[in-house]
Every structure is written in structure tokens, then in C-alpha cells.
Amino acid sequence: MSREARTKTQQMRVAQLEAAARQARQRRILTIVGTAVIVALIAAIGFVVVKAMGGDDGKQGNPVTGDVVPPKNLDDSGAFIVGQADAPVTVEVYYDYMCPACGAMEQANGDELDRLMNDGTIRIAMRPISFLDRQSQGTQYSTRAANAFATVVNDDPDHAWAFHMALYASQPEEGSEGLSDGEIKDIATSAGVPSDVADTFTDNTYEQWVADTTKKAFDSGIQGTPTVKIDGEVFDGDVYSKGPLTAAIESAAAGK
């Protein structure tokens, strides 16, 4: 190899080494930046969750300020039960009608829960709470929706499940004013609730019951919504995809 060729070869090697060094530096920078972004996102998400849960000021819902009037047709634990009494599996759900995570769960698993209830596999213990009232610009949407549900439970329990599903089908965005009283009434009547029952939603008969059940839920150890229990055990799997919850329920039923 001539001297000129050797020089060119050495120059090429130097250029390759420099290029490799630049790529390594770029990868390190991207890794550092990416890690910082992830950490920032986790911190931001954590802050939002804590704020929504009331961790910023210790509040978990509206205080009980008057007489608690529970609706009729609850079980001894204070839940409203839908489904066959002899169903082998009990699925207990804590939810807030403003909660977007609850809406995502309903979208993914609502039809499955409905199917499993109708085929006699599960009975569902429904526990509405209202810790997200502050996320509806002062309209107290979580309480108003839960009060409406309690009214239907008391006066027209056969349509309570359909009304519940319809509320989530029309769920407002968190941070909005929520649905108006008129819109809640229209959803109820569309789900089969008689107009004379829906007309009493604004009496707020069960507002204090909603506040009381919210307090009791958090006092019992509930951390947020949605919380799903299968035969009393918290389900910690994915409730935002169709499949995992159904599989867990069917596994519990198979063991009976």
C-alpha cells in the first residue's frame, strides 16, 4: 500500500471514530433527556392524581351536613345489587360519575359486566361516590348524578342499571360543568325511568347519603375510583382493556 493510500485509510478511520463518538454522545444525551421527561411526566401524573383524590388539602368529598336518608333497596352493606341473588360471584364497584378512569373502565368492560350479569355469573354491588365534585366548576356534578341514581334505586330499581350505563355513555369531561339537571333527567327517561321519578332528582333527597357513602368508602380504605372487588378482594389487574377483568371473574366462578 502506498503512503498516500495509508494516509487516506488512517483519515477514514479517524473520521469513523469521531462519528462513532458523536453518535455515542447523542445517545447519552437522548437517554438523559428521555429519562428527565419520563420523571417529569410521572411527577405530573402523581400530582394530578393526588389533587383529584383530595390529597392536596385532605378532602375526600363533601362533608355530611344534614340528615342521611338512604334509598330503599340497598343490601345490608349499603350497596345496590343488580343481578341474580344466587350468582356465584359478587363484583363490587366503587365509582364516581365524573371520573374519566371510571368512564374508560365502563367503555372497556360495561358490556362484559352486563353479559356476565345476565347469564347469571355475577351480581354487581354498586357503590357511587362523589369525591370529584370540585372538578365540575361548582355544579356538584358527581353528587347530582349520584343523587339521581339513588333516586332511581329508591323509586324505580329495575331501571337503575340501565340509567347507570346511560350516564356513562353520556359522561361529561372532567373539569367541565357536567350535565345539567335537565340532561340528567332526559338520560333517565330515555333509559326507561318514569318522568315523575326523574322530576324528583332536583329534590336532592339523597345528597347527604351520597356524602356519607363517600366518607365511608374512604374510611374503609378505598383509594380512588374505579375500585373493583371480586368476592371481596380488590382486583389489581387492567380494568381499562376488555379481557383481564372477565378472565378473573370467570376464574373465580370456576372455583365455586
Give per-residue pLDDT as tens, 73-132: 999 999 999 999 999 999 999 999 999 999 999 999 999 999 999 999 999 999 999 999
Given strand 80-82, what is the order of strands in its sheet?
A: 80-82, 122-128, 89-95, 227-230, 233-234
Give per-residue pLDDT as tens, 33-74: 444 444 334 333 333 343 344 433 345 789 999 999 999 999
Rounded alpha-carbon distances, angstroms, from residue 173 to 55, 177, 178, 203: 21, 8, 7, 25
Give per-residue pLDDT as tens, 150-168: 999 999 999 999 999 999 9
C-beta of residue 91 within 8 angstroms of C-beta of residue 230: yes
pLDDT at 188: 98
pLDDT band at 22; cut points 50, 70, 90 = low
* C-alpha cell read off for 139: 355544579
Counting Cα atoms < 13 Å in the Cβ hemisphere of 174 gives 17
CB-CB neighbours of 16 under 10 Å: 10
C-beta of residue 149 within 8 angstroms of C-beta of residue 107: no
Residues 6+ apart with CB under 8 A from 230: 89, 90, 91, 92, 248, 249, 252
Mean pLDDT (the chain, rounded) = 85
pLDDT at 60: 73
* C-alpha cell read off for 181: 339537571
Give per-residue pLDDT as tens, 188-229: 999 999 999 999 999 999 999 999 999 999 999 999 999 999
Q: What's the rounded Cα separation, in Å, for the pair 147 and 202?
A: 9
Between 147 and 256, whose confidence is greater? 147
Residues 6+ apart with CB under 8 A from 214: 60, 61, 62, 129, 130, 131
Calculate what percentage of the chain has a pLDDT beyond 70. 77
